[in-house]
Each structure stands twice: as structure tokens, then as C-alpha cells.
A = this chain, B = another copy of it.
Amino acid sequence: MHILVTNDDGVQAPGLLALAQAMRQIGKVTIFAPDRNWSASGHVKTMDRPLRVHEVTLADGSPALATDGAPSDSVALALLGVVKEKIDLVVSGINPHENIGHDVTYSGTVTAAMEAVIGGLPGIAVSLHSPEDFHGALDYSTAAQVARRVAEKVLAEGLPERVLLNVNVPYLKENELKGFLVTRQGLRLYRDALDARKDPRGKPYYWIGGEFPIGVDEEGTDYGALKAGYVSITPLQLDLTARQAMEGMKKWEW
């Protein structure tokens, strides 16, 4: 098995290294990730400029490829042939914060897995539900082992066509996990606020500020599972059609 590992926090992020080390337990790993942080940068296809690819070395000595493109560009470049050897699976992460609810279209971690699916491969995004107020070095060991177990299952069972997995892991020791739940995407409540400031020359500029978003703690959802101590596994599709809205709209008269 040949597994492509990427992320949206940049190639030197500790979550990527933890993920790559766990994936090496089940196959050959190629690391190909952005050279900087692309959090909340969405699903990108860079077409207005060429992309560079550099060889870099990670903290444990692993070789890796880094690009000045987005996470989804990393996956696209790899699948288009920058990585010569056939790839079987794309795993993205480990993101230091959860990706739940409406986060999924913003998230570079998740959109990298979307790009895998568009390229015809199974894609898995892995994120850690770390405490909001945490400072210091996060412990990625539980999430890395969860990622390994999910990847093994995906390789053994397969995924339906055009489906990716969005995996979120509670910040617990492995033996403290309640288990694994297949969930639906829940609701995310953003608490963004405008932070208007003046620069040293008196001209205005704006931060999108506010508080960290919260989730709606509902049974059966991604956030509900995390809050109850379970790993949340949400199958996602790229067909966004709101089918329940179609009938009503078909009655509109033009």
C-alpha cells in the first residue's frame, strides 16, 4: 500500500509527522504538503501561477515534498504525476483543531481529502478536538493510532464512490476513548466579530475576530460524538444538491 500524507498546517507541523509515522505501520508513505499554513483556505486549484515543489526533511529525518500551493494542490500535483509511484490512499492531517459542521468547506484538511476523491482515490481527513485554551505541544498519539485504524478499515472494506471520511478524535488517551461512531455532519456556530483598527498612518483595517466557534451538541452528529468521548467518522460527499428543496422550487412559476 502506498499512502500519500498531506495537511493544511504546513509540512513541518507536528500533526503531519505523527500521521506519517502511524501510516508507515501499514504501508509505504509519501509526504507531500504545503510549505506554509493554509488553514481555512478552502478547496483550491491554483491555475494562475505555476507551483514549486521542494524536497525537505522532517524532524525525524523523513524525506518530504513541500509545495507553495494549497493542500488540494499538493494532492492534485501528486496524482497528476509529480509522485511517480501509484497512490492507493490519501490521508490528510492531523489538524490540531476539530473540523465539524460547516467547517468542512473551509478546511484545507478536509478539502485535501475531497481532492483525493475527485482524483478517484479514497480520502481521509483527520482532526483532533484539542482543548480550546490549550498551550504547548499537543499529544497526537491517540489521533495517529485512530487514523491508522480508520485507514486499515478503508483499505480493507473500501469506500463508496465519491465519498471521503471526515474523522475527528477526542483529546483523550487511547484507552479512554468510548469507541467509534459513524455520524452525520452537525451544526457549527461561528462567533466571528469584526475587529476594526487603525494602522500607524490612521487608515482602517479589519480583522475577522471574535471567539472560537462552538458546535451544537446533538446525538448522531460529529460534535455530539466528540463531546461524548467517541471518535466521529462522517462520510462526506461532493454532491451538495439540497434534494428536499427541489420539490417546492419546481412549483415556482417563471
Main secondary structure of the interface of A (DSSP, over half): mixed
Which residues on B sit within 8 Å (CB–CB) of A11? none
The answer to whether B236 touches A192 (Cβ under 8 A) is: no
Q: How far is the CA of A196 from the CA of B81 in the complex (A)?
A: 10
Of all chain B residues, which has the CB nearest A221?
B241
**Which of B42, B51, B77, B185 is the one whose CB lies under 8 Å from A41?**
B42
Chain A 191-227 residues near chain B, CB threshold 8 A = 192-194, 196-197, 204-208
Most B C-beta atoms less than 10 A away, residue of A41, A206, A233: A206
Whether A129 sits at the interface, judged by CB under 8 Å, is no
Of all chain B residues, which has the CB nearest A180?
B254
Whether A92 sits at the interface, judged by CB under 8 Å, is no
**Which of B160, B190, B234, B245 is the one whose CB lies under 8 Å from A244?**
B160
Which residues on B sit within 8 Å (CB–CB) of A56? none
Q: How far is the CA of A72 from the CA of B43 in the complex (A)?
A: 12
The answer to whether B42 touches A37 (Cβ under 8 A) is: no
